[in-house]
Structures are given as structure tokens and as C-alpha cells.
Structure 1
Amino acid sequence: MDLALLSPFFIESFKKISDDSVFYILSDSGFEPDYVDNSNVFALNTSSISDISEVVSNINKSSIDCVIFHFLNREKEEIANKLQKEIKKVWCIWGHDLYNQNSFFPYRQYEKITEEYLNKNSSLKDRIFKKQLVKKIIFEFLLFNKKIGLNSKFHARYYESFGVDKYLTIQSFDAISFIVPKEGLLISKIFPDKKYLHLYSDPTLPFFAHFETIKPNSKNILVGNSAAFTNNHLDTFNLIKDYSLDDRKVIVPLSYGGTKDYIDTVIKKGRELFGENFLPLIERMPLKEYSELLRTCGVAIMNQRRQQSGGNLFHLVGSGVKVFINPNNGFYDYFKKNRISIFSVEDLHESEINNIQPLTQNRQAILDLYSHDHFNNEINKLLKILGK
């Protein structure tokens, strides 16, 4: 069996499914020459029409019987639509490809203050189009237009931006792999005829391998994982603005995601509320240095309403950090159900962040949750879908 179109992060994981797996890594920014070190790994440029055509041709001419699409973007949709019908297709959800690129899955991602910021910087038309009910109505109207054959350039533009093309592409898939069960439950209501998998669970993935118990007296506070709006930084600051911080730092990673205006707004508000206690990370740090900084944090506040930053969460939880998560985030219920000590941002108050003890029991709990047995079970589900 061959598997194609996976991100490099999961190559080693999916090699376990088959020794003759083939991987196509698609990017518009190129790769380091030494990154692709396997004869079955091919790096291609998505800005090149010939490269995309090459992927389609190679797969259709080969004995490949299954293609796994990790992060389903426009280029991969194009490839999926051109594959032979007998080839099985699996969509591995990442996050942005589910929550940000369609209108058939309307999901509220922002808390009140962040939403106010985004609306303030949006036109009236954009604010109207962002409303979930409006998006759903427009999506249904466009889907009807697509089905009756209206395919002008005008229509094509909106078919893509409102997720109609993606919806129809996913209809042709055989299975969908979610990151958290809540995600699978929600999307199964839209695509009830698909098989559902949890392939994001290999215990040998990097973020399970480097748990380091937090340092004694670690008391700094980590807020979010990036500059993406979905971190709801401004709302989080509002939750802790009156806390007595003493000498502890409020550490906020802002080195990627978001816009310059949003990053500037977050930094300005952080300095206004926390003064010298505020530490924005605006440049990427070497992994070792970043890990050492995380070890000074006894508390992390992840106020994303949707599944996001799984790798960071696993590292923090496995290292014993006291993590507060937005209860709408699918990781919250999943962790709670599986005996991992996690806390809701709705229960956040000053006494909670002053009472910090490393939650060392979480290390084994998360390793039990993402076990070899669990991952092998998901692989067996995939093999059954393929009739293996």
C-alpha cells in the first residue's frame, strides 16, 4: 500500500502502515535539501502547475490504492478531484483546513473582545458575511448554483471562498481523521457516510518524546501559542489583568500567525496591563532555548475555542504545567474524560495560579491516552477501509 500527500512531520509515523509508502510534500516555499532524505519522499512546489500535474499522473499510473491528504488546501483538493475513482482517499484534519476555509462548518472561534477587535477592523460587508447564519445561507445558495451547472468566473470565485468546492471534494472521500473526538462528532453530522479515524495519535511523534518536568518554583504564565487571532489574547489578558503578579512574567509567543496590527495591539495592551511583567516573544527561538523558557512556566492559559496547538498542549501537560483551556476546545473534554488534570479558563482566578504544584501524574496519563495500542487500532481501522 502506498500513502501520499502527508506533511513531513508525520512521515515517520505513517511509514509504520506500509514499508512501501510514498510521500509527496507540497509547499510553495521550497525545502532544505537535506530535509528530504528518503527515496520515497518527494518535495514539490504547489505554485507550479506542472508539479501538481506530476503528482496526479504519478499516483494514477502507479499501484497506489490510498492517498492520505494531511491538511486539505486548494492544491490538494485539485489533486483529489483528478485521482482515479478506485483510489481511496482520507482527509487528515489539521485545523485551519476545517475551521477557516469553509462555510459548511460554521464554528465560533473568537471570544468577545477579540471579536470586537476583528469587527472594528472589518468592513460592514465582511462583518455581515462572517455571521454564521449568513455564511450558511450563502453556502446553501451557492451549492445549489454549483449543482445546476453555473460555473462562470464570478461563481467560481465564491465557490472557493465559501467552501463549496471543498465540500464537494470531501464528499468523494472515504474517511476522515480527526484530532479530537468532538471534531469528529461535529463533522460527522455534515458527512455522515464517512468512516472516521484518529490517526493523530502515534506515541512516537516528537511532542511526546521531550517531556521535562517544570523547574522548582516555576511561576511564570504562558498565554497562547502564536499570534493567531484564535488565541483570544485580549480576552485572556482581561481575565488576569487584576492579578498580583509580583515578579512573575506573562509570556506570550507572537513569532508567527496573526497580522502586524494585531500583534502590535496585543503587545500594547500587554504592556499597558502588565508593564515589565509582560514578555512578548516576537522572534522565533531555538527549540532548546524555548523549551527552557517553558520550564519556567507553572501555568499556561490556552484560550482557543477550537482545537489548536496540540503539540504545545501535549508538551505542557506532559511536563506537569497547570494548563487552563477554553471549555469549548475539543481537547478539554477529551483530556477530562481520560483522567488528565486540566482546568477551564472559566474557573481561572488568582488563587489557582498562586497554588502551583507540578502535575506529574499527567505525564503517564497522556502517554496512556496516546498509546501504541490506540494508534495500532486506528491503523487497523484504516486497513479495513482498504479491504486489507
Structure 2
Amino acid sequence: MLHIANIIRDQKFIDGQIAYHDLTSDKCQHDYFIVSWEKNIVFKYMKKSERVRIVTPDELIDILEKHTYDALFIHNFLYMPLHYMWKIPASIKVFWFAWGYDIYNTPKDHPYISIPLLHNKSQALLEELRRTQNKVSDFTKFKREIKAYIKKIVQYKRQDHNDEPSVYKKAVTRVDYFSGVFPLEYNLLKEHPEFHAKRVVYEYTNPADWENIDTEIPEIGHNVLIGNSADINNNHLDVLDYLKGVNFSGKKVIVPLSYGGSKHYANTIAQAYDHFFGNVCISLLDYMPREDYFKLLSSVGVGIFFHERQQATCNIEELLRHGVKLFLSETSINYKHYKSVGYHIYSLQHDFNQHTLETPLTDEQKLHNAKLWLKTSNKEYRLKYLYDIYDLLNNQKQ
């Protein structure tokens, strides 16, 4: 039987991944680790926290050396202190499952995939937020610099160094297999000379979503969902430019802002949207359980996502499968992927107006999108991804 270690964090969809892996327990044992110097972690999202061991980086390496692991699954590159990557035993195959931030926003000043992520107003807001944070006295700045210098000297090991380009690139050389959310991300990474990982397909899924799947066209609501989080990459302020002059009467505008960014940013966007839409706007500032959030999504007839990188795919695909009309940035990785697959989606920049807001997808278009989603989202297809990885590892052991 195969034995795989998983590096994770307390995220809202990890319970689903554990359930997904458990369906193959006859073929593979999966163990789960959070790598942290802080052991007293309070779990916010995961209900299966008893399945997780919290270990320091040194403890992780010791475990990997003493146990017979066939592979290490790193769920988001940043959840592993990258200067420890080359300490992983050579016998262990390393899989990097990228989430987005770990390639489009890291290293901080030199992202591994470098594309413009922010539109004009969001870029200006980011600079304003940075100026506000930097309004401290010269003495305070001096103290911070001294503290940072001492920490760098004394506590080198306790820092992740993941924003250092040299550390990041060296860590990339240790990766044997890579899976992004979209296939085209692998091609973008292949442009880097130090990247030599082979491509595999790995999906984030939840077996609960496979129940009662059919291609019936459901009844959907009339509300409008904008974005998926308080991450500034949603370009919330720039979205408003495309909504001017459009009447949203009879609809609620739902803006999820409960995770993914700072409270300052979330509150700034909530105020801007409340001012723009008035009492039709619902800003979600508090975390909502998955079941409640999906119930809320059932009231949505139109979704607007203005990210430029791959992002918000769980929300996008949940809406696609239920016949919701989506407007995305036509220059984005998201738009290019879903168009290439064949989904009926639309450009926020050129297609959004009063008429297109009021005109839902046809029944034929809804059914087409649902069938496309079902093609790669059913139980047999998703399990095949795991079994293919297991076959790969077993073949290498022979």
C-alpha cells in the first residue's frame, strides 16, 4: 500500500479532500500535516482536525526520514517553508498542487507567473492602503528595522523565506510533479528553466457534491453575485465602472468579503458597494458555513468575477453547473480556460448591459454548461485522477 504525506492548512475545503482521499483507502494511506512553529492552532474551518498533526519544519523532515512515505503532496506551495524543500529525502516524490496565490502573487515582488492582476482603481486603492499602513514615526520605523534585522539573524530557520526569489526557484527544482487548477498554468511554468516537474492532474473536490447529480435544469434566482472574497484581486472597485447606468431593481447584490483579505479592505469595499447600490447590497463580512453559502448561491442568476488570474473556480463552477449566467474579465486566465473548454460565458468589458443582465441563459445553454461540468466532475472521473497518480508511484517502485 502507498503512503502519502499531505501538507495542508486549515482551509474550508480540506475536509472534502480528506473524504475524497478516504475513498481510496484500500490503495493508499494519507497522513496530514500542518507545518508551523506555532503549535497552538485554533481550527476555524476544518471539522476533521483530529486527522491533522501540527509539526515544526524540523519535525516534518524527521518524520519523512523515519517513515516510508512514497510521496509528499504539497497543497499550495506556500504551506511548506521553501528553504526546507531540499531537506526532503530524495526517495520521496514531491507533488506541488498550486492554488493560485503561490504562483501569481509569489515571490512578492517577482511573481513566478507575472501578469497584471489589478485594474486602475484597485491598484490605486492598494497604494493608498500601503501608504496608510506606512504612516508611522521615523523612530517606529527604525525600531521595526532593527527588530527585523535581529529576527533575520537569530531566527533564520523560523522564517519561511518564501518571498525570496532565489529560495523559491531552488525549491521549484525539488518538485517532481505539478498540477495547477487549469492545464495552461503548467505551460506557463514550463517557461522557467529551473522548472522540470512532470504534469499530473489533481482535483479539489468533495464527495458530498457527487450526490444527486443530474442534468436537470434547476430553478435559479435573480440575484447578482460579485466576486468571491476580500482578496483585492477581485478588482471590486473596477467592477463598479461597468455597472453604472444599469438598474438592479428587484435583485439583491451579494458581495462575499468574509475571507481572503484584510478586514480594512473588506470594510472599504463594503462601504463603497453600500454607497453604490444602497439597501439592495448584501456584503458578507462574516464567515458562512458551506451549506448556508451554497443555499445563498441558489438565489443567484448572474455572477460577476473580475479576477485576472485563475481564482474563484469553486464559485464559478458551482454557478456554471446550475445555469447561472457569468461575466468574467475577457483578459483573464479564467475566461481563456472556460472559453477553451466550451462553456457559455460572457465578457464583463463588452457584453454586460441592462439587456444581458435581464436575459438568462437559454435552456439549451444551461444544459450544455451542466453537461460540460458533469463530464469531468463525476465520481468515476475524479477518482481516476487519484488512481492515475497511484499507478505512477507504483510503477516507479517496481
Fold shared per TM-score above 0.5: yes
Q: Distance in 2 between matches of 1:72 and 1:325?
A: 27
Q: 1:3-58, CA deviations, whole angstroms, 9 ceiling, x for partnerless residues? A: 11244342233343863423223166244896246xxx43215xxx3xx3332212
What is the aligned partner in structure 1 of residue 68 from structure 2?
A: 63
Shift of 1:83: 1.5
Q: Distance in 2 between matches of 1:5 and 1:287?
A: 23
Shift of 1:373: 4.0
Instruction: Give the structure-2-normalised TM-score.
Output: 0.78
Aligned-CA RMSD value? 3.2
SS at match of 2:355: helix
Judge which range, 164-173 or 17-26, deviates more. 17-26
Q: Distance in 2 between matches of 1:206 and 1:321?
A: 21
**1:1-388 matches, cutoff 5 A:** 1-7=2-8, 8-9=14-15, 10-15=17-22, 16=24, 19-26=27-34, 29-31=41-43, 35-36=48-49, 41-45=51-55, 49=56, 52-73=57-78, 75-102=80-107, 103=110, 104-123=112-131, 153=153, 160-190=162-192, 191-200=194-203, 205-206=207-208, 209=211, 215=219, 218-346=221-349, 347-357=351-361, 359-371=366-378, 372-373=380-381, 376=384, 379-380=387-388, 383-384=391-392, 387=396
Q: Distance in 2 between matches of 1:275 and 1:377?
A: 46
Q: Distance in 2 between matches of 1:79 and 1:21?
A: 24
SS at match of 1:240: coil
Residues 181, 330 of structure 1: 8 Å contact kept: no
Q: Distance in 1 between matches of 2:71 and 2:371?
A: 34
Q: Distance in 1 between matches of 2:204 and 2:163?
A: 31
Aligned length: 353
Residues 17, 379 of structure 1: 8 Å contact kept: no
Segments of 5+ residues of structure 2 without an aligned counterpart are: 9-13, 135-151
Residues 7, 80 of structure 2: 8 Å contact kept: no
Q: Distance in 1 between matches of 2:258 and 2:73?
A: 30
AA aligned to 1:2 is H
Q: Distance in 2 between matches of 1:378 and 1:24?
A: 16
What is the aligned partner in structure 2 of residue 149 from structure 1?
A: none
Judge which range, 371-380 or 174-183, deviates more. 371-380
Segments of 5+ residues of structure 1 without an aligned counterpart are: 127-151
Q: Percent identity?
A: 22
Structure 1 consecutive aligned stretches of length 4 or more whose deviation exceeds 6 Å? none
AA aligned to 2:172 is I
Shift of 1:153: 4.4
Residues 220, 248 of structure 1: 8 Å contact kept: yes
Q: Distance in 1 between matches of 2:357 and 2:211?
A: 27
Residues 109, 305 of structure 1: 8 Å contact kept: yes
Structure 1 residues 58 and 261 mapped into 2: Cα distance closer, same or farther (>3 Å)?
closer
Structure 1 residues 349 and 375 mapped into 2: Cα distance closer, same or farther (>3 Å)?
farther
Instruction: Give the structure-1-normalised TM-score.
Output: 0.80
